Structure 1
């Protein structure tokens, strides 16, 4: 199942990030992402966006990555739950390397550290998954870890 999860994650550029505010009101949003080791999902966002504000209030998140180009009945997807946060200063270089590897693989320009620190309007975020599932051919979620 890990190979299937890797294949899905490598073939898709966006994940749907599900967050909730302090009162529990849900919010879902697509974010362009990069991933390391099927466990760490990294994206760039503005701290003033609703999903970023929700993460500041409540770190628990869920995410889904699915291929919308597949015919009905042939869907493949990765689902995860875990904790999200703005990447701490002492981990920026490492997380930015993950994100930029994804950018370069997609033909996008890499981000400079100054674009996600200091007075820059964006920040680097990450979600570390505690559980990950893959949707199988019977449309059942099969646990990867």
Structure 2
């Protein structure tokens, strides 16, 4: 592991507002969904969704998820990405005050800063959290220090 790679991962996470959430459906097929996210400590990733959404139902049945965070506007050969293997779950109502405080310390302009009341009881939305098990950073093949000529992944601890 390298401090500059850890910093690269933090930079990718901080500069992007959407992650692609990969779940597995009841038929065993993969499902990917873009979701607006926030994070706490680069290891916990939060989003709000309806429990009726297909990805939310998938998380309820199979909490193992895959996440990728990347800038889709990067020039060819300049892509940066972070890959996360995680376990996801809906945040229980009794944890919402603490978890909302974590999730909404730094939100993008125009984003909703949800409160526990917005995400509990009869509310149609819930707060979800994915806790990282492993985090990898994308290394472009031409990276001046870590490149090997072929794009690769390297484990990091952002």
Q: In structure 1, the residue corresponding to 2:106 is in which secondary structure?
A: helix
Among 113, 116, 120, the alignment partner of 1:113 is 116
Q: Deviations over 1:92-115 (max 9, x none)?
A: 122212222232x43434112111
In structure 1, what is the Cα distance between the partners aligned to 2:117 and 2:12? 31
- TM-score of the aligned structures, taking structure 2 as reference length: 0.86
Gapped runs of 5+ residues in structure 1?
A: none
Among 120, 144, 156, the alignment partner of 1:144 is 156
- Structure 2 match to 1:78: 82
The alignment's C-alpha RMSD in Å is 1.3
Aligned length: 144
**More moved, 109-118 vs 65-74:** 109-118
Q: In structure 2, the residue corresponding to 1:53 is in which secondary structure?
A: helix
Contact 1:42/1:98 (<8 A) preserved: no
In structure 2, what is the Cα distance between the partners aligned to 1:22 and 1:83? 17
**More moved, 134-143 vs 87-96:** 87-96
In structure 1, what is the Cα distance between the partners aligned to 2:110 and 2:152? 34
In structure 2, what is the Cα distance between the partners aligned to 1:131 and 1:4? 16
In structure 1, what is the Cα distance between the partners aligned to 2:130 and 2:112? 22
In structure 2, what is the Cα distance between the partners aligned to 1:43 and 1:106? 16
- TM-score of the aligned structures, taking structure 1 as reference length: 0.93
- Structure 1 match to 2:17: 13
- Structure 1 match to 2:63: 59
**Over alpha carbons, which structure has the higher Rg?**
2
Gapped runs of 5+ residues in structure 2?
A: 142-150
